[in-house]
Amino acid sequence: MAKRTIDQVDVQGQRIFMRVDFNVPLQGDQITDDRRIRSALPSIESVLERGGRVILASHLGRPGGNGYEAEYSLEPCAKRLAELLGDKARGGVKFPSHDCVDGAATAAVGMLADGECLLLENLRFHTAEKKNTPDFAARLAEYADIYCNNAFGTCHRAHASMVGVPAAMKGKPKVCGSLVEKEITYLSDALQDPARPFVVVLGGAKVSDKLPAIEHLIPKADAILIGGAMAYTFLKAQGTKIGTSRVEEDRLEDARRIVEKAAEGDCELIIPTDHVCSTTFDEKTGNNKTFKGDIGDGYMGLDIGPDSAAAYDKAIRAAKTIVWNGPMGVFEWSLFAIGTRHVAESIAAATDAGATTIVGGGDSAAAAEQMGFAERMSHISTGGGASLEMLSGKRFESVDLLDDA
């Protein structure tokens, strides 16, 4: 799936429309985690250093789409990006308007000089972004000479800035940034022929969220380790008592089918055998107890137990390729974060021993970062939903529209 990259085109004097993912967490106007902005820097800096004119576009949060909403403004991102770029961006990072396609924004784009950078306001202040309205896409496309997709977190979305703009830029270069290039290398190309043993660790709340990935990966993986609340749907499907644990009743038959499919092939499906439980979904008020096998009445599973963690550790440390998407429990609460911590530590140790380790975005990335293991993983994806869909074998129109290498 090799695609032409921004580093392979001449950008001197050219205007580059670069779709980035600056959908960062905010408290008021303060960014609490700037990892997505930092991840976009290499391609932005590459263009600026080579005399290109950078037009950055992103969404932030979920505004109503009927115009400017202060709480979803990208202005804090413009300020943080200016701090990170320093003097690499001539004149700092321009933030011309509270509308990405009004007269002020258009004029600012027209006045950009070589080595200068601006950030457009939140694309989703217009409903046309999510609807991929042709007129809106065409207005954005008029800004630039080159299109660059550097926003893996939204690659699975058929929005105007992801598919409408490159489709409208007929005859012009359409390339990927280094962030998207890296994601494709790890999440697609590296898994075509993984070094073995190939182990997949899947957690999180819902079987339904992970079902396409599980079905796609069973023929490829040597083992799939299941954790999180989704494990209780599998356990109930096999006749284990799960107390008041979360279960998707409408997915029990799917879970049985997955177990049978894994048994028919060469993939070992490993499900927790013990569980850290509580009588309430609360970190402090419930009665906590660890169960082996059946879970007692009135108790819900909130983390994998020590026996399961040890079994997962053994499988992970023996692997040569590891994919992790989803926590093992309610990792935000210290009492139920132990299983996720064990998995993260095991994956870090496997990486140290030479394994290729790929962490899906979202909660898995947050856990790895929070627990101090992120620097010891081969790759941490910037897109939770996008990484899961790519692991499910889906193609992205936004990537297919880019020029082949």
* Residues that are catalytic: 36, 206, 362, 385
Please give the single-letter amino acid code of residue 10. D
Where residue 403 falls (left for φ over 0; alpha for ψ -120 to 50; beta otherwise) is beta
SS3 annotation, 55-66: EEECCCCCCCCE
The tokens for 65 are 């789409």
Cis, bond preceding 42 (omega within 30 deg of 0): no
223-226 sheet: strands from edge to edge = 268-270, 223-226, 198-202, 321-325, 356-359, 379-380
Contacts of 281-288 with C-beta under 8 Å, sequence gap 24+, read 283/330, 283/333, 283/334, 283/335, 283/336, 288/335
Residues β-bridged to residue 15: 53
Phi, psi of 52 (to 5 degrees): -85, 165
Q: Which residues contact 58 (CB under 8 A, 6 or more apart)?
A: 19, 20, 21, 22, 23, 74, 77, 119, 120, 122, 123, 151
* Calpha distance 323→351 (Å, rounded): 11
